[in-house]
Each structure stands twice: as structure tokens, then as C-alpha cells.
Amino acid sequence: MIRATMQGMDAITHPPAPINEPNLTYAPGSPEREALLAEIDTQQRRPRALRAHIGGRRRNGGGEERTVVQPHDHQHVLGTFRNATTKDAEAAIKAASAAAPGWRALPYDERAAVLLRAAELLAGPWRQRLNAATMLGQSKTAFQAEIDAACELIDFWRFNVHYGRQILAEQPIANSAGIWNRTDHRPLEGFVYAITPFNFSAIAGNLPTAPALMGNTVLWKPSSSQQLAASLTMELLEEAGLPPGVINMLPGDGIAVSEVALAHPDLAGIHFTGSTGTFHGLWREVGANIAGYRGYPRIVGETGGKDFVIAHPSADPDVVRVALLRGAFEYQGQKCSAASRAYIARSVWEQMGEQLLADVDALPMGDVRDLANFMGAVIDERAFATHKAAIRRARRTRSLQVVAGGQCDDSVGWFVRPTVVLGSDPRDAMFSTEYFGPILVVHVYDDAQFEKVVRQAESAAPYALTGAVIARDRAAITWASEELRFAAGNFYVNDKPTGAVVGQQPFGGGRASGTNDKAGAASNLLRWTSPRSIKETLVPPTDHRYPHME
């Protein structure tokens, strides 16, 4: 247990400067490839019991048993867990409350040291453990696992320490004579409820730890499909020295957990990433319970997207082709940032369309344990059914034409071939619905219609997460950038709309895509603090009369 009051060092310190973790290549013959393959072998040997972590203890949840399987080989069970119950949620909130006084009394540098140590452990001995779990459980290729579970999570932990210090350094700039003004960046009063998605192990690791860094204690509900990597992340944090009860992890669908957490008077914040629909439900519940909370809960949510690529007639056709291949189909299009609608000038399409379709049909897809594959399977049966239905609808719709891919096969894994659909009507639902998978709809427009197409694309979907403009004409870039100013929180010029790097392109979107607090940035950490202004009068007055009264 941590003591409630702590003696910190008296020092203004200089922690290691944050640097982006370099990506390893996993090329044939590389030591990292060998280590990864060995770890994959170990992790798939027998199913692990994936327990809840409450107050530093591993416990079996009280609900029904569920399994975590390999999406590309869905008969292969990686682990089992029990769905968390209302009782588990109550115990986790109790543990978070018990840990809160000690954790927030620990000086910032000491809390930060836990995350810096976690980052170094992940860069070193834990790297392949988390990468292998992310490959097996979430069907990521070695490269996609490396940029997520290793590099991005390491970056979140390193950069957040830096941004948190910037927040602490934010102090009043004026003091009247004889006065010392200070800002105490307190944590929130109560617990933060972190709910994380299946698709990024880095997001799963960041959402509970960002509030914890700022002195909060947390109830963390990961996605069931990401539970293997989430369990390892908890173990890594514990090895890094995270005290018991600071983060309490409950597996399962979250229904029972929300029943307790969203009605609890100590709910101080929600840190969510996932679909827009789920976020609406959580917000509605908070609204309904608003009079019952001790304070107003902070609600931070990064949600869905329908991300665009717009190619101007001056675009380099090869740049467009590669941006679409990688932007739409890496990780099976299961990135919130994935390009899922494209608007291509006819003259550009004529130069690259045929090659794009041939490249798409040639993308190697299959079991991610075979490192020759570019893509794996979609996450689960539900995602598979959604894509199959969308492709079937496309085949039946007059304005849509499936021109690449379109095959779905769930006999071994939930495989959906990367699919390109040509859409002559940019108002079709395919241009506004997030399927969250490997379907790209393309509208080929007459070169003279660039401005009209940009204006239509600007608000064709309710989302505003990522978008890209590809052009060589500077005036076109400038015009489109202005016209699309509110259409994307992350805007790319001559690049794919995916792959934001912590510390370089802070990530998040507006409209139905989220509260745009930007993960891995000071603006996000700020949401987990509640500043207290302290005025100290060094020599206080002892006479109440105004000078003009004399």
C-alpha cells in the first residue's frame, strides 16, 4: 500500500527527452523476426486465463466464460475470461478509491517514472510479447503490430510524461506586489472510466495511463477482442511499478460495468475510444444521471470516421495509388483513419485506376503468422457479416460497381478480400457509412468538377476524422485545405490519411468523430486535471479601511 502522504525530492528535474521509437523491420534474417516468431509460438501453445485486475490482484470475473480467438483462424483459442459483473465493477471502483489518496500524493516525477520504465520495458524485453499478442488476437501483420503495440504505445508513454510536465509548468504570469500566485494541477475527484477499442493496443494502453499519469485512479474496460494484449499491458505496467488499485482492469462487454460506473457518484471522467454509437449511449447515460454525480464528469471520446482521399487533376497518379493501397487496406481498413472513400479526377484515374485494381487483387491476405501476408482477417463474425452485407448491397445497387475484391470466406478465418467499389453517385450511403473494414468506394469525377466535388465531400458524411488531398498544384492544395478546414481533425497533403505519429501529428477529429482532445497531447492530459488557483499574500493587510477614508 502507498502511504497517503509522500516525501518527494526537492528538485526541478530533467527527465529523458521524448523520442519516437524507431520501427524494427522484421526482414528475413533479422533478430527481431526470430524473436517475434518464437514468441508467437509460445503464446499460441495453450489458452491463457485472462483475469480481471482489481486492487493489484488477479481475479476471475463473476460472469459467463468467453474466449479470445485468432480472427484469421477462429477455431484457435488464445485465452478465456469471465465477463465482468456489477459486483466486479463495485470491487474495482472501491479499489480505485482506496488507491487514490496515495497515488495522487506521489510526486509527478515518481508517477512519470512508472510510465518511463514501462516504455523502456516495452522497447526491450516486452516488445515481442505485446507484438505477438496483437498479431494473434487482433490479426495484425508484424509491421502493423510493431507500429501500434510497440512504437505508438512507447511514444504515448514517453511523450505524455513530457506534456504532463508542460501542464504543471503552466503557472500564473503575474503577481501583484507582495502576492505569490500558483496553480495546483489537481487530479479529478473520483475515478476515470477508460473504455478502449479492439483495433489499437496503443490506444488501449494510453487511455487508462494518461489519466493515471495526472494523478487519477482508473477503471479500465478493454475490448474483448483485444483482451490478450490488454492483459499483457496490465502485467507490463505492474512490472514497471504501477501500484495496486491505480488501474483496475475488467474484461468483458462492459454492460454490467457501465451499469455501476455510470451511476456512481464518484464518476469523474470517461476516456473512450470506439464507435460513435457506443459513445452516444455513454453520453446519454451520463446526461440522465447528471444530478447524481459529485462533479460534472469529463467526457473525452474519439470515435468513428469516413475518411477521404481527394485527388486533384494535377496529382501524381502513383502517389494516389499507393496512398489508397496503404491508406485503405493496411490492417484490413480497421483503422479509424483508414481511407474509405476517394474522389479521383478522371484524368488521374485513367493513369492509375487499372494498376490500382490489379494491385488490390494481388494483395496477399491470410494468416498473419505467415509474414509474407499484407493483410489478415477482420476482427470477428459481426464485422465479417457487416462487410458481406455491404458488398452484397453494392452488387445490387445500380450506381455502384464492385471492381476489385468482393470475396468473403469465413471457413477458417473472417476473411474479406480488399474491395474497391466504383460509385457514380457520391450521395450513396457507401460514401457516408463507416463499415470499418477493407471496402473503398471511389467516385471518379470530371476534372473540371474539382471544386464541386470537394464541396460535396466536405459534408457527405457526419464524421470529420482524417482526410487527404493529393495535388501538385499549390493553389488547389491551398484552396482545398481551406474548404476542408472542418472536415478532418488530421489533414494530409500528398500522403495517405493514416499513420499519425505521437508528438508529430496529434490525433483526433471533430463532428461525429469525437471531442478532438488529441490523444498523446497536452490537450488530452489537461482534461484529467482540475486546477486549483492558490493566492498567497506574503504580508497580509491588518487594516480594513480604504486610503480615501482617512
Ligand X SMILES: N[C@@H](CCC=O)C(=O)O
- Neighbouring residues of 427: CB distance < 8 A, sequence distance ≥ 6: 456, 460
The listed partner (ligand NAD, ligand X, none) that binds 387, CB under 5 to 8 Å by sort, is none
Q: Which is nearer to ligand X, 301 or 499 (CB)?
A: 499
Q: What is residue 514's DSSP assignment?
A: B
The listed partner (ligand X, ligand NAD, none) that binds 198, CB under 5 to 8 Å by sort, is ligand NAD
C-alpha 457, offset from chain centre: 25
Site for ligand X in 329-368 (CB under 6 A): 335-337
Shortest distance in whole angstroms from residue 515 CB to ligand X: 15
- 151 labelled catalytic: no
Parallel/antiparallel/unpaired status of strands 490-493 and 466-470: parallel
Q: What is residue 532's DSSP assignment?
A: E
The catalytic residue among 146, 151, 336, 458 is 336
In total, the chain counts a number of residues equal to 550
Q: Which is nearer to ligand X, 99 or 210 (CB)?
A: 210
CA 19 – CA 503 distance, rounded (Å): 9
Q: Which is nearer to ligand X, 217 or 226 (CB)?
A: 226
The listed partner (ligand NAD, ligand X, none) that binds 500, CB under 5 to 8 Å by sort, is ligand X
Q: Which is nearer to ligand NAD, 329 or 507 (CB)?
A: 507
Site for ligand X in 460-519 (CB under 6 A): 498-500, 507
Binding mask 15-34 for ligand X (x = CB under 6 A): --------------------
Q: Which is nearer to ligand NAD, 172 or 277 (CB)?
A: 277
Shortest distance in whole angstroms from residue 339 CB to ligand X: 10
User: Residue 56: left if φ>0, alpha if ψ -120 to 50, beta else—which one?
Assistant: left
The listed partner (ligand X, ligand NAD, none) that binds 498, CB under 5 to 8 Å by sort, is ligand X
Cβ atoms 430, 390 nearer than 8 A:
yes
Give the footprint of ligand NAD on this chain (CB under 6 A).
195-200, 203, 221-223, 253-255, 257-258, 273-275, 278, 281, 302-305, 336, 434, 436, 465, 507-509, 513-514
Written as nine digits, the cell of 383 is 464485422
| Residue closest to 272 by CA, chosen among 246, 296, 302 | 302
- 302 labelled catalytic: yes
The listed partner (ligand NAD, ligand X, none) that binds 292, CB under 5 to 8 Å by sort, is none
Written as nine digits, the cell of 348 is 488521374
* Residue 188 binds to ligand X (criterion: CB under 6 A): no
The catalytic residue among 21, 39, 302, 330 is 302
- H or E element at residue 278: helix 276-288
Q: Which one-letter amino acid corresponds to residue 222? A: P
Q: Which is nearer to ligand X, 83 or 490 (CB)?
A: 490
382-387 contacts at long range (C-beta below 8 A, 24 or more positions apart): 383/334, 383/414, 383/436, 383/437, 384/408, 384/410, 384/414, 384/416, 386/435, 386/436, 386/437, 387/416, 387/419, 387/435, 387/437, 387/438, 387/439
Contacts to ligand X by CB under 6 A: 199-200, 335-337, 498-500, 507
Q: Which residues are catalytic?
A: 302, 336
